[in-house]
Structure 1
Amino acid sequence: MGTTDDFGRWIRKLNTADAPKTRLILLPHAGGSANSYFQFARGFAELDVHAVQYPGRQDRRHEPFRDTIEELADEIAELIGDWNDLPVVLMGNSMGALVAFEVTHRLEAKGNPPLALFACGRVAPTLRKDEGTHLKGKDAFLQEMALLGGMGHQLLQDEEILDIILPPMRADYRLAETYCASPATQVSVPVHVHIGRADPKVNEPEAAEWKRSTTGEFTLETHEGGHFFFTDNGARLTAAINGALNETLAVNP
């Protein structure tokens, strides 16, 4: 792993189990922080749960944004590549799903793959989805935020808060919209994809293309809700993760 200071900047503990079976590492959405998973993390009684804090936001707001998804993944994989006291599972939402995929690819190359990858709210890595959102003016960009949900109306009206949250959000959108994986980039771990039925950014055929990015098991589950479906239906996603992990651990204890 990296230095203690580096590790502490990037990796934040959200939940600790008494006798954890697995470590769940969560990768946030565009503009998101580790704390965006705080409530969700409380649903796991048998897992240690950590989340990644990307540079350029909250307590890391003075650090430069990274230029590519791959660059983010390089640094994260370097930090957690030797963290093997517990089996690791990765879950990413939206942009975080892409980061989780690239981190998984790197961990496999290091010989320390995660047990599984859970990808939420994102089209497959090989489907570039550049809608030019990161280039839009402020008003059009805010309309996009309102469309996706996840940010309260009051936040979208508060200029001081917007000055803080818009720069990392726009930077992250640029990473996600300019990213596209090669069809040759595959992982071998199980990939479990979850999307919201009303998500305006991904439909079932686009989500189903994730199966081409793994040589392992693939599942796709659709939930009621939109882009941030698990903020309202988190119990179902939590149950799906716990169920899949129990099955995997039964086969590979």
Structure 2
Amino acid sequence: MSAALHGPVDLLAVQYPGRQDRREEAGLHDLHRVADEVAEALRRWDDLPLTLFGHSMGALVAFEVARRIERAGGRVDHLFVSGRKGPTDDRPDASHPVDDEGIVAELRAMSGTDARLLEDQELLEMVLPALRGDYRAVGAYRADRDAAVACPVTALVGDQDHWAPVADTERWRDRTTAAFDLKVFPGGHFYLSSRADEVAGLLRDHLAGALRA
């Protein structure tokens, strides 16, 4: 999808610890800490229009980054949250598996991971530490009961996403004091794989408007 977002914009991607060029670092354990780091890194662009997009766990990270930027007096033009139900209260999410077997089974059910990877024990041993960290971080995440952003929020979701049902995704409405929109696409949790061009078009339209403003 990033390749489709060409034009006069700077596209920045977050690389979580424990992955690729950060593989030697300790894995992700705390979404709030990651949000602190991302918000700090974005300060160098605080004079430019900023739009945030996050999918699944990344939606929670993007939400917390937006909160930190706004608290520091910065501005977020828009927050796009994808494939993640809206936080409802300060209780942690206990619906995710905590052991390797459960993690692999859930990835299999989501149908977004190459089946060859899930069958390759050597590769699994390489990626499971990072996945364990992801699941722990999401499971331990707590949003402040009244936490909200001042920027508009658009939630995107697949109509067959059992991990982020449409009704639960709509609860992001309660996490903004500005406008809210919900976009539902055909597909499951990884609807982006087949709808990347549509989502990229949605983002391009928004970015073009932000640049004209």
Structure 1 length-normalised TM: 0.78
Equivalence map 1:96-245=2 (5 Å)? 96-126=58-88, 128-133=92-97, 135-136=98-99, 138-245=100-207
Alignment-derived partner of residue 43 in structure 1:
4
Deviations 1:13-44 (A, max 9, x none): xxxxxxxxxxxxxxxxxxxxxxxxxxx10111
Whichever structure has more strand as a proportion of its residues is: 1
Report if the CA contact (8 A) 2:153-2:180 is conserved.
yes
Aligned length: 210
Higher relative contact order (CA 8 A, sep 6+): 2
Measured after TM superposition, the shift of residue 85 of structure 1 is: 4.9
Alignment-derived partner of residue 9 in structure 1:
none
Aligned-residue RMSD, C-alpha: 1.6
Report if the CA contact (8 A) 1:68-1:179 is conserved.
yes
Deviations 1:108-133 (A, max 9, x none): 11222221110000011235532141
Alignment-derived partner of residue 59 in structure 1:
21
Gaps of 5+ in 1: 1-39
Measured after TM superposition, the shift of residue 164 of structure 1 is: 1.1
Alpha-carbon distance in structure 2 between the residues aligned to 1:122 and 1:61: 25
Structure 2 length-normalised TM: 0.92
Report % sequence identity.
Answer: 35
Gaps of 5+ in 2: none
Measured after TM superposition, the shift of residue 66 of structure 1 is: 3.9
